Structure 1
Amino acid sequence: MLSDVLKTELAAQLRSAFDDDRDADTFLLRLERYGDDLRDSLHAVYGDRAEALLERLLEVLLHADHARPADLKRLDEARLLRPDWLQAPEMVGYVAYTDRFAGTLKGVGERLDYLEGLGVTYLHLMPLLKPREGENDGGYAVQDYRAVRPDLGTMDDLSTLARQLRGRGISLELDLVLNHVARKHEWAEKARAGDPKYRAYFHIFPDRQGPDVFEATLPEVFPDFAPGNFSYDEEAGGWVWTTFNSYQWDLNWANPDVFLEFVDLILYLANRGVEVFRLDAIAFIWKRLGTDSQNQPEVHHLTRALRAAVRIVAPAVAFKAEAIVAPAELIHYLGTRTHHGKVSDLAYHNSLMVQLWSSLASRNTRLFEEALKAFPPKPTNTTWGMYVRCHDDIGWAISDEDAARAGLSGPGHRHFLSDFYSGQFPGTFARGLVFQYNPATGDRRISGSAASLAGLEAALETGDAGQTEDAVRRLLLLHAVILGFGGVPLLYMGDELALLNDYAFEDVPEHAPDNRWVHRPRMDWALAERVQREAYSPAGRVNAGLRHLLRVRKGTPHLHASIESQVLPSPDPRVLLLCRDHPLGVMVQAYNFSEETVMLPAYVLRDVLGDHAQDRLSESVFSLDRLTVRLKGYRALWLVAGENPV
């Protein structure tokens, strides 16, 4: 046990590295608290090499601790006193590309009034660390983790922005790409030059024998423009593991030096003011022959060890797992068994996002119910990242088992959704694009903005007022679900203005091959400035409705993310019912996923809430001692018990 070791001369040696006894006490107490998690996970991954790694790691931790600014150390103490800071109902996220939102990091700093006025307390700026020149997978081919993309600013600009955000109570999140680096990264450059230390940072094979054996069980991520998982590199003199693109070299996390490098990088960025790290492609970092090399046990040990190391120096920092995997695998990224609550603090609830769009298309929530019921409970100290749309495509992550329980064919329903959201299904309201069609599996992922997928683009084309009304109500319904489910709602830039697909992406050479740029438009600041004056426009109604939802959420303690939303069986397949059993009282949420008015049997609500309930969204009081409750098309209710609930 490391806690026992700390009672020996090691503690004295560590204490001697500090000038101040209080600083020494703080470091040693955190080391005692998180040291066993760190050591146990490192031993699980690296075996006999773990002790030597720990010695080197302590030097990195001490250096980072001494370099940590005073205001961030104060934030550390504040977060330790409020460990549920990410779970509070006032936590609202906003996701944007720096250049498309405000041009530069300094430009973002000039737009903080807008974010604060919207209610944002958590800002995720999409990849901004220096990528390779030219095509770079949207910034996920990082050439230098210690530099900012030159056109966006400098690392000092990043520190200044982080400090400005903290002053307004807004936490900064950045992407940390763990699985790979750009071929132009210094490590890869040295590997190609023949340096044995850095060749060991990667998976490089002299011929196709090894890659061919691995390929037998590996899926393809980008079958259209990056088939296969290995690329021949003339300079390296071998086949390099490149899961995503030939210019993104997968790292060899079986090498302890890679772990040490990333602890140093995370702490460097944390000391610059980054509070949340999105662990990009975390599922892929451990390779194992005979598997798909995703979700391996070592992934969770490595994440636990990274988190423990960072908590020793910077406990204000949180991890968010970018693991778009099946529910049975996803829960491990928040922690199960010995890792329970000790890996990532957040994870994307990709399944909920998929089910939102599935229910909109089908006007049926039975599959939604089955998918949610299949989720195991998460650790109470963790939370979900909830979203309607993100920067990525929508992959129809619907399991055949969930579909069968809902009376559907998994392949058939996925085919229907691809047709519906690419505009090919008769009567569809959606305007989306097929992304990465895989003829071997039939999979077709979908690109498109939330507003275009929800029908607003088509409605405005035809000038149909009824369809426009439906599209606006769909968008507000989707956001009501992510704001009410319990987690950190992540608003994607422009959705608050109902921005449509941006087909001009085809005019930009580096964007043209990737139609995901259709839903990555530039911020329309002219619209943002006038939208509240144009209350009756579609954008004005979406904006006003979303702001209302955000205000209600912040004043509703029932939405604290330590409480899970549970499915309440609905007597009507068009309506999703969720129940949240909070100490202040039960909340029931009702969501009508159709344009039709539903007469919902009142007993299903009365059995949980009693004879009277108040809707937090409209402040209406419902009498539940009658036969039915009327739900207009696409209406959302957040019901709490009593006529005048707390």
Structure 2
Amino acid sequence: MVADVAHLSSAHIASETPREHDLLSLARTCLRNLYGERADFAAIVTEIESRVRMAQAERPNDLKALDSARLNTPKWFARPGRPGYSCYIDRFSDTLTGCIDTIPYLNSLGVGLFHPLPLLKPREGDSDGGFAVADYHEVDPRLGTFDDLVALADSLRANDISLVLDVVCNHTAREHAWAKAWLAGDPAYADFYIKVETDAEMQEWNRHLSDVFPDTAPGSFSWDDDAKGFVWTTFYPFQWDLNYANPKVFLAMLDVLLDLANSGVEGFRLDSAAYLWKIKGTICRNLPQAHDILKAFRSYLSVAAPGVFLLAEAIEGLDEVLGYFGTDESQSECDLAYDNTPMTALWGALAEGKADAMSEALRLTQQKPPHGTWLNYVRCHDDIIWQALKGWVDQDRLWRWSNLYAGEGDSFADGLAFQAPAGQAPSTCGMAASLCGVGTDDFGLDRLKLVYGITYALDGVPMIYMGDELAMRNDTLFRDDPQKAQELRWLHRPQMEWTLAEARHRSDTDAGEMFTYLLKLNHIVANIANWSSSAPAKSRSVGDDRILCIDRALPEGTFCCLANMSDMPLFLPASLHGHDLITQAAVQTLPPYGLVWMMRP
């Protein structure tokens, strides 16, 4: 913590190994780009590296042993057949202690990465689903204590499951101690946040900015009486953006990461990574300085806790997302990034019954550098943002897809339109099963299996969103809660239906069929020799634009995924006849929304 760091000295700096020398050199270069013009730059670096060395010395021995093993196992987090699983603790298991009791369920699903959504102590009342953090060193008291979090991390690790936590690094709650100290005029926290005092200056900034929540929280600034000015609030008025132009902010957030890593957290989802730096006259997203911050975080963690990975939450256009891997392995930023482009395009392809948008998305994502890994997903706690495809999918198509998933016209989907800047297609809310038409359409479960079968076939790590494994549908009860009623994303943040989970091995239920299907996919990829997260998924035309064909070149042969995006049965050309790894049957046709996996010489 900031107060503790101030008392450290260079006496904590140990001798460097060659690996550490390179990492520290990169971090110092990044810090020089950010803060090099300051007269106290040398003292800043000394203070930061003292904290890193202290964290390294204090790291528990079992975690140091894990670090050593992982240094020899690149991309250890991308083990075949070990998907991620994302949920809210209070919706999944009520408490952190209760979550320990669910580990057998996670094991039965083959989970390797467990990602609970924000659980650090939030502000009271509306907290944007936990993304308004009031204390990074405590957990939400509704969920338990910090000791409970450590116990959960230990229990997961004992079952070969890694705990991944959200760190909201762009902003804090207005109620955070840093914000209170800033408001009180404490010089130690001067410039922790960004304030403008006049409407004219605010408008000068706003000319280049885009609203994240144009309906529920328009603008990027909020007037605060106590601050006597407009505070920068990219998201909601109670979420105050941190000012990384102040190196004490960088140090404070690094301290959070180091403390959590030494408490047993094995991966961090860095929320809102694109927004970390502000420059007047720019859109204040994806700026070079934000990348310097992430490279420095990655480098310092690689010294103190090298077995920990970073996941970039940057839901941007593909060109911007690719930057969060870093230009090459020696300039690494985040180890994983959300593969948002194919996810969004996949829903578009399903809406149209045509594969072209998904094929193009896969072509574009091949630009990923070899050292990076995609996190592949079907749904998450957020909305589907159609504008992620702008520039190569025309706006008319985006609007048609948005309207379909909002249930307009002759639609199979049961979703809701969210919000978007004026003139852009509204985003989409809804559980995957509901968007696929489970419960309302004869092909609903086939569509759900199709989108997961495609997602599992891609290079990277597949992530299951809580309830998808049981074909759980929308939770409309959120409208009965005054604190959630206006936040449509609660539609797809349901309470876990444990009665469905108890019947997960029954083949006569949607839940049982979906759960068994995912287990089959896990088993297949775990038993394909040399299945590699770095063998890129490449699409190719097979003469029918309703069929998505994905090839991955593996040492033992070519893995091929064939998916019928339409509601019509389709004959396959003779060259594509083969043996389906999922059903173990010979395949010559694809039924409506049918999918097959094959291995070819």
Query: In structure 2, what is the Cα distance between the partners aligned to 1:217 and 1:397?
Result: 17
Q: Which residue of 2 aligns with 1:366?
A: 356
Q: Which residue of 2 aligns with 1:343?
A: 333
Aligned with 1:415 (options 399, 419, 424)? 399
Query: In structure 2, what is the Cα distance between the partners aligned to 1:388 and 1:289?
Result: 36
1:616 aligns with 2:572: no
Letter in 2 for 1:457: G
1:159 aligns with 2:150: yes
Cα drift, residue 40 of structure 1: 1.4
Q: Which residue of 2 aligns with 1:40?
A: 29
Q: Which residue of 2 aligns with 1:406?
A: none
CA contact (8 A) 1:340 1:379 kept: no
Matches of residues 66-465 of structure 1 in structure 2 within 5 Å? 66-336=57-327, 342-397=332-387, 399-403=389-393, 410-425=394-409, 427-436=410-419, 438=421, 440-459=422-441
1:587 aligns with 2:559: yes
SS in 2 for 1:37: helix
CA contact (8 A) 1:486 1:559 kept: no
Query: In structure 1, what is the Cα distance between the partners aligned to 2:46 and 2:164?
Result: 30
CA contact (8 A) 1:91 1:121 kept: yes
Change (3 A) 1:548 1:341: farther
Letter in 1 for 2:164: E
Letter in 1 for 2:314: A
1:54 aligns with 2:45: yes
Query: In structure 2, what is the Cα distance between the partners aligned to 1:55 and 1:239?
Result: 34
- CA deviations 1:428-459 (Å, max 9, x no partner) are 10000111254x22431111111110001323
Q: Which residue of 2 aligns with 1:640?
A: 599
Cα drift, residue 118 of structure 1: 0.7
Query: In structure 2, what is the Cα distance between the partners aligned to 1:69 and 1:60?
Result: 16
Cα drift, residue 341 of structure 1: 5.8
Cα drift, residue 30 of structure 1: 4.3
Q: Which residue of 1 aligns with 2:527?
A: 555
Letter in 1 for 2:148: D
CA contact (8 A) 1:87 1:562 kept: no
1:64 aligns with 2:55: yes
Cα drift, residue 29 of structure 1: 4.5
Cα drift, residue 131 of structure 1: 0.5
Change (3 A) 1:444 1:400: closer
Query: In structure 2, what is the Cα distance between the partners aligned to 1:240 and 1:184?
Result: 14
Query: In structure 1, what is the Cα distance between the partners aligned to 2:513 and 2:119?
Result: 32
Q: Which residue of 1 aligns with 2:541?
A: 569
Change (3 A) 1:217 1:191: same
Query: In structure 2, what is the Cα distance between the partners aligned to 1:36 and 1:588?
Result: 43
Query: In structure 2, what is the Cα distance between the partners aligned to 1:581 and 1:83?
Result: 20
SS in 2 for 1:367: helix
Q: Which residue of 2 aligns with 1:6?
A: none
Query: In structure 2, what is the Cα distance between the partners aligned to 1:527 and 1:537?
Result: 9
SS in 2 for 1:137: coil
Cα drift, residue 618 of structure 1: 2.7
Query: In structure 2, what is the Cα distance between the partners aligned to 1:432 and 1:576?
Result: 25
Cα drift, residue 164 of structure 1: 0.6
Query: In structure 2, what is the Cα distance between the partners aligned to 1:449 and 1:44?
Result: 43
Cα drift, residue 308 of structure 1: 0.2
CA contact (8 A) 2:561 2:595 kept: yes
Change (3 A) 1:492 1:232: same
1:523 aligns with 2:526: no
Cα drift, residue 492 of structure 1: 0.5
Letter in 1 for 2:116: L
- CA deviations 1:41-76 (Å, max 9, x no partner) are 111222244432210012101221122111111111
Unaligned runs of 5+ in 1: 1-12, 19-23, 404-409, 460-466, 606-611, 623-628
CA contact (8 A) 2:566 2:592 kept: yes
- CA deviations 1:116-174 (Å, max 9, x no partner) are 01100100011000000001110000000000000101111111110111111100001
Cα drift, residue 292 of structure 1: 1.0
Structure 1, 121-130 or 450-459: larger mean CA deviation: 450-459
Cα drift, residue 31 of structure 1: 2.3
Cα drift, residue 400 of structure 1: 4.6
CA contact (8 A) 2:387 2:425 kept: no
Cα drift, residue 504 of structure 1: 0.5
Unaligned runs of 5+ in 2: 1-8
CA contact (8 A) 1:94 1:120 kept: yes
Structure 1, 163-172 or 575-584: larger mean CA deviation: 575-584
Letter in 2 for 1:585: G
- CA deviations 1:385-442 (Å, max 9, x no partner) are 1111000111113545423xxxxxx1111111111001112x210000111254x224
CA contact (8 A) 1:188 1:199 kept: no
Query: In structure 2, what is the Cα distance between the partners aligned to 1:320 and 1:274?
Result: 13
Structure number with bigger Rg: 1
Letter in 2 for 1:306: F
CA contact (8 A) 1:162 1:172 kept: yes
CA contact (8 A) 2:340 2:388 kept: no
SS in 1 for 2:316: coil
CA contact (8 A) 1:431 1:457 kept: no
Cα drift, residue 377 of structure 1: 2.2
SS in 2 for 1:344: coil
Change (3 A) 1:555 1:341: farther
- CA deviations 1:608-646 (Å, max 9, x no partner) are xxxx85432233456xxxxxx42222222222124xxxx
Q: Which residue of 2 aligns with 1:10?
A: none
Query: In structure 2, what is the Cα distance between the partners aligned to 1:455 and 1:415?
Result: 19
Structure 1, 428-437 or 303-312: larger mean CA deviation: 428-437
Query: In structure 1, what is the Cα distance between the partners aligned to 2:389 and 2:119?
Result: 34
RMSD of equivalent CA atoms: 1.8
Percent identity over paired residues: 40
TM-score of the aligned structures, taking structure 1 as reference length:
0.88
Q: Which residue of 1 aligns with 2:3?
A: none
Q: Which residue of 2 aligns with 1:3?
A: none
Change (3 A) 1:196 1:72: same
Query: In structure 1, what is the Cα distance between the partners aligned to 2:389 and 2:461?
Result: 25
- CA deviations 1:163-217 (Å, max 9, x no partner) are 1111111000010111101000011101111224323111111222321111001
CA contact (8 A) 1:486 1:564 kept: yes
SS in 1 for 2:385: coil
Letter in 2 for 1:619: Q
SS in 1 for 2:572: strand
Structure 1, 505-514 or 585-594: larger mean CA deviation: 585-594
Aligned residue pairs, count = 591
Query: In structure 2, what is the Cα distance between the partners aligned to 1:497 and 1:599?
Result: 31
Cα drift, residue 376 of structure 1: 4.7
Cα drift, residue 17 of structure 1: 4.9
CA contact (8 A) 2:547 2:565 kept: yes
Cα drift, residue 560 of structure 1: 1.5
Letter in 1 for 2:592: G
TM-score of the aligned structures, taking structure 2 as reference length:
0.95
Query: In structure 2, what is the Cα distance between the partners aligned to 1:356 and 1:341?
Result: 31
Cα drift, residue 340 of structure 1: 6.2
Query: In structure 2, what is the Cα distance between the partners aligned to 1:316 and 1:30?
Result: 14
